[in-house]
Amino acid sequence: MSLTYRQPGVVLTDRRFTVPLDHDDPAGESIELYAREVVASDKAGQDLPWLVYLQGGPGFGANRFVGKPAWLGRALKEYRVLLLDQRGTGHSTPANRQTLPLRGGPAEQADHLARFRADAIVRDCEAIRPAVTGGAPWTVLGQSFGGFCTVNYLSTAPEGLSAAIVTGGLPSLDAHADDVYRAAYPRVERKVTAHYERYPQDVDRARQIAEYVLQHEPVLPGGYRLTAEAFQSLGILLGGSEGSHRLHFLLEQAFVRTPQGTALSDAFQEEVQSLLSYASHPLYALVHEAIYGQDSRPTAWSAERVRAEFPQFDAAKALAGDGPLLFTGESVHPWMFDCDPALRPLRETAELLAARTDWTPLYDPARLAANEVPVAAAVYHDDMYVDTAHSLATARAIRGLRTWVTDEFEHDGVRAGGPRVLDRLLALTRDEA
């Protein structure tokens, strides 16, 4: 039975659905999906069109909004919104170190997780759409990885869509993970350089912290083993609108004097633990590179292999010289499964996924070239997480897609920009802008 309750200005309803684990075997095992329906209080009794939101990730549940922040207020002016926890995330049937052993050993776990990519998420959407809309098509808003899912939607089930909106998430249609990371590392370096230009005092701070970590390899309060590479991965913050400032404030509280000498402060360790741990979103680490798998080539820890082509990211080499320490960005590495207690039991499972050679194509170029669904996409200039050139090539390949290329926002523009981003993109889908 659905539960309905209120927050300021909105009426919320918890929705639960049962879908096949494997949509090619509808009579087989099923899993549960959770979604939160949101409607403006003054429109609760109206018959409104639907907008389904696909969160970025992979591996994150939908935003837990309070009231009508960010883009949600604009959407609620004319839609009922469905905030979907994609399979394995949030309140949907979980997939993590606690539950995956129910599947069996690492091989069985890897086979299970291979069903958690964009294609399965889209088929979930189509399975629940009739129960939500009565069969009418809906608008999809895909942020980041949610945009990857949206392009799969346009490739496989465009009849389910009245319009499609993508924010920071137009994927390459054919790039291997290696191509993605070869394009990413130079972008990350530019973001780090910009950060150091804004906060030049952080050059020395970052080196001091990295030197301390290399010497001591501290274990954080939650059991995370902090290495130099793990410290560098805090650069993931630099892809967000406030990320450079957040990183600066984190670095400036790193050290404290103790009777035993200088040590990492409790405050610093606690925040680093929360930023680096995958306990709340393990699927991000497990299937992150799999979202780029589309043929018989394994992803084979692509970000780790490609990083070796960019020696300026080597912490030990940087500290041996006088150059700045470079942070890294949105990438997953095998050492994470040694450092993070939430991932350690899944190391062999991750290895099997990295070696997998039976990935199926996620996008249909011919169908996209014949697209008839109104589509608009925000492409953030020099987005740290998604390559701009790849996004623009895909935009050209999707018939009728209209782009808004802007350097006003970082990757989180749909949140940081409030209602303006969604308002602009809706106007583009309607030929009003």
Q: Cite the active site residues.
A: 144, 358, 411
The two three-digit tokens of residue 2, written as one number: 């659905």
**What long-range pairs does 130-135 form, CB within 8 A, spacing at least 24?**
131/17, 132/15, 132/37, 132/50, 132/52, 132/82, 133/50
What DSSP line would sit under 160-225, residue for residue? Answer: GEEEEEEES----SS--HHHHHHHHHHHHHHHHHHHHHH-THHHHHHHHHHHHHHHH-PBPTTS-B
Q: Could you give the angle at which helices 243-251 and 177-198 cross, rounded to 10 degrees? A: 60
CB 406 within 8 A of CB 433: no
Sign for the pseudo-dihedral over CA of 193, 199, 200, 206:
negative
The two three-digit tokens of residue 66, written as one number: 């309070």
User: Coil, helix or strand for 100?
Assistant: helix
Q: Could you give the angle at which helices 177-198 and 201-216 cross, rounded to 10 degrees? A: 120
Tokens 């630099």 correspond to 238
CB 399 within 8 A of CB 371: yes
Q: Which residues pair with 19 in a beta bridge?
A: 31
Write the CB contacts of 425 (distance below 8 Å, at least 6 apart in sequence). Answer: 165, 167, 376, 377, 378, 404
| Pure H helices in 57-167 | 72-75, 106-113, 118-133, 145-156
